[in-house]
Each structure stands twice: as C-alpha cells, then as structure tokens.
C-alpha cells in the first residue's frame, strides 16, 4: 500500500546511524522501504554489508519508532516529507543514480514548482565575487526564477540574500538536518528562507553537519537546478563538484570570469576553458532561458474537490488544530490536505501565520 511505503520510507530516513548510501542500497536490494522495515536483520546483512553497530541501531529504531505517527509529528514542527515514488517528489531528482528516498522540507513548498537556477561559489569570496553573486541573485529573482544554493558563507549566502531582498524565492539545500542552521552565523538568513523560501535536506532532523555530507548535498542541489551558475571558485571548491554533477545530469553550466591572478577564481576560470557558458551579465542568462519560465508554471486551477472545504477554511487564517475541529476531520488528514494544497500552489503560508491563496491563483484573479 502507498501509505505503508510512505510511512516506512520516512521511518527509515529518520534512523540515526543509517547512512544514506546504506539506506538507498537496502531499498534497492529488497525492493521497497516496506520490505526493508519488515525484513529480518539477516536479510539486511545479506543484501548490504552493514556494520554490526548499524544493524543494532536499525533494530533498536524499529522497536521504538511508530512509522504512521512520524509524519504527523514532523508536520506539527513545520517539516514535511517528500517521498520518492509519490507525486509531490521533485521529478528532477529521479535523474540521479541514487535519488534520495525522502526529502525533509520546511517553508514554501511551491518553490519546488518554479524554474530554478543554482548559484554557487567559494566561501572565501572576494568583494568582486560577492557583488557578482548579489547582482545575479537579484536579477534572477526579479525575473521570477528561484535561486537554489547551499546557504554557505560567501557566494551562496550573497546570492540568496539578494534574491530575498528583491522579493523573490530561494531554496537552501542543507548538509545537515533541516532543523540545524549551518553555519550558525546565518541564523537570520535561515529564518528568512524558512518563512519566504524553502529549506531542503535529505537528512533527518537533528543530523549534524559532516564533511562527507557536503558532496551529497551538492548533488541534490545540482539536480534541483535547471541551470547552474558558478560565480567564483578555487581549484578545490565544492562548487566545481556541483558543476560536474550538473553536467552529468545534462544541465547547462555558466561561469563568471575572474582575475587570472586570483587563486579563488582558478576553478571557475577553468570551467570556462573547458566549455562552460560565459556569464558577463545575469540579464543575458535570463534572456537565454527565454520562455522556459512560463513552461514550468502550472496553470492555476481550482483545488481538488476533496480539499475544497479545507482550502476555503484555510483562507480564514485558522490553525491546523482549528481546521480539524471546524471540519470534524482527523488532524493527520488536515496536514495531508494542507501539504497537497501547498505543493500544488493553491495555498501558501501568509506572514504572521495562516494561509493565503497561492501565487498562481492570485495572479490569475488579477
């Protein structure tokens, strides 16, 4: 059953100590998350060479966890789960060799329906690099594109802050659990993205930052982006890994030129030497993308009939608990409906709480 598979996928993704590569290989070997969850531990070790400590961790988690309650508990904290194989899962991730089993997201879910441009670069950005990142983020946001980045120091943060300042949308792909702000100095940016953009992680809440998670984060970032722009990158910059993954996925990669005397521009300059598209003005990128923006916007339409009553009630700025009481529905059904209405663009969260009609519906009314 679909609900069983979803619940088991979320439960497995939330098992601390089960690394994502082991999890994905287990699901591939046994055929489904449900089969992994129900399997004998001997089946796990026969399918994948798990360390004894990992087997004990998964066994202990299976004894304690209640899969059908986890999604509701997360939703109460403002965290939603997008599970592979279900309609709300980003289709662009399916191009990866091992797509994440589950994404944990918080914020404006409609951001995943926009045409997205990844903007990445070095943490050791120069004043020139920061200015170029801000300019690019601002122009893209004003043109209606969503800026995707990693909320890192330097180029990432500069582009995302500029996108938000321009009234646009940004998605931050994290290398930690969605409830952990890294770096800690970006707490203000983290909160702004949570309110006006979208936070995305393939790691369960509470998962700390680790070195090996940054390349994993970068592959997800590249897959969520329709185009990737490298503003400034050294020869060992993680941004180059993002660019390589984007190329493997068939995405266009742009790079901004930098001084040949700067070690922090050698990687991005090398991309240009190897055939990346030259970015000298972000308006040119917008022109290159042309009518692609319109092609990815869904035509605004009435909400599904099964959620019509919930949609109308949500516009009255009621909380989920109030909606459940007013409609006489279980709270879990209210959360499921709100999630689908947000993903479909029919609802979006309003500043200060509550909901308002999604941007697509508002534009159609105008």
- Token pair 């109308």 in the structure block, residue: 312
Verify that 166 and 218 share a domain, yes or no: yes
Question: pLDDT digits over 98-150, tens only?
Answer: 899 999 999 999 899 889 999 999 999 999 999 999 999 999 999 989 999 99
Q: Please tell me the pTM assigned to this model.
A: 0.81
Q: How confident is the model at residue 62 (pLDDT cuts 50, 70, 90)?
A: very high
- Residue 257's pLDDT is 96
Token pair of 353 as six digits: 């709480």
Before 221, cis peptide (omega within 30)? no
Two tokens, residue 274: 């190897």
Listed residues 296, 324, 354: the one ending a domain: 296
Hey, which bits of the chain come out as E strands? 80-83, 102-107, 116-120, 146-149, 169-173, 198-201, 227-230, 252-255, 277-278, 347-349, 355-357
d(CA 309, CA 289): 38
**Cα gap 158→119, rounded to integer Å:** 10
Whether residue 234 is found in the same domain as residue 289: yes
The reply to whether 103 falls in a domain is no
Number of structural domains the chain divides into: 3
The C-alpha atoms of residue 137 and residue 279 are separated, in whole angstroms, by: 13
Range of the domain at 341: 305-365
| 158 and 292, same domain (yes or no) | yes
- CA 321 remoteness from chain centre: 27
Residue 315 pLDDT level (bands cut at 50, 70, 90): confident
């Amino acid at each position: 059953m679909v609900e069983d598979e979803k619940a088991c996928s979320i439960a497995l993704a939330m098992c601390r100590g089960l690394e994502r590569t082991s999890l994905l290989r287990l699901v591939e070997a046994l055929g489904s998350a449900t089969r992994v969850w129900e399997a004998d531990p001997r089946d796990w070790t026969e399918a994948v060479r798990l360390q004894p400590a990992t087997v004990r961790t998964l066994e202990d988690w299976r004894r304690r966890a209640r899969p059908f309650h986890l999604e509701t508990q997360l939703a109460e904290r403002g965290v939603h789960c997008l599970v592979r194989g279900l309609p709300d899962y980003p289709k662009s991730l399916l191009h990866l060799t091992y797509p994440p089993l589950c994404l944990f997201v918080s914020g404006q879910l409609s951001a995943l329906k926009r045409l997205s441009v990844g903007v990445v670069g070095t943490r050791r950005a120069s004043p020139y690099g920061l200015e170029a990142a801000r300019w690019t983020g601002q122009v893209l946001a004003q043109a209606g594109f969503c800026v995707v980045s990693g909320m890192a120091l330097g180029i990432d943060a500069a582009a995302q802050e500029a996108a938000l300042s321009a009234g646009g949308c940004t998605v931050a792909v994290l290398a930690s659990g969605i409830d952990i702000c890294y770096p800690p100095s970006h707490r203000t940016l983290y909160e702004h993205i949570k309110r006006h953009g979208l936070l995305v992680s393939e790691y369960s809440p509470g998962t700390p930052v680790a070195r090996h998670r940054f390349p994993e984060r970068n592959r997800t970032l590249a897959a969520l982006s329709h185009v990737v722009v490298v503003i400034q990158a050294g020869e060992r910059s993680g941004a180059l890994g993002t660019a390589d993954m984007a190329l493997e996925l068939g995405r266009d990669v742009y790079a901004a030129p930098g001084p040949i005397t700067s070690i922090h521009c050698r990687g991005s300059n090398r991309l240009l030497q190897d055939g990346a598209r030259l970015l000298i003005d972000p308006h040119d990128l917008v022109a290159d993308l042309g009518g692609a923006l319109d092609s990815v916007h869904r035509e605004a339409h009435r909400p599904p009939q099964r959620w019509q009553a919930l949609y109308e009630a949500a516009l009255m700025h009621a909380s989920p608990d109030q909606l459940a009481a007013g409609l006489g529905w279980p709270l879990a059904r209210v959360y499921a409906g709100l999630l689908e209405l947000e993903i479909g663009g029919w609802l979006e969260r309003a500043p200060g709480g509550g909901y308002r009609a999604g941007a697509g519906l508002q534009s159609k009314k105008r």
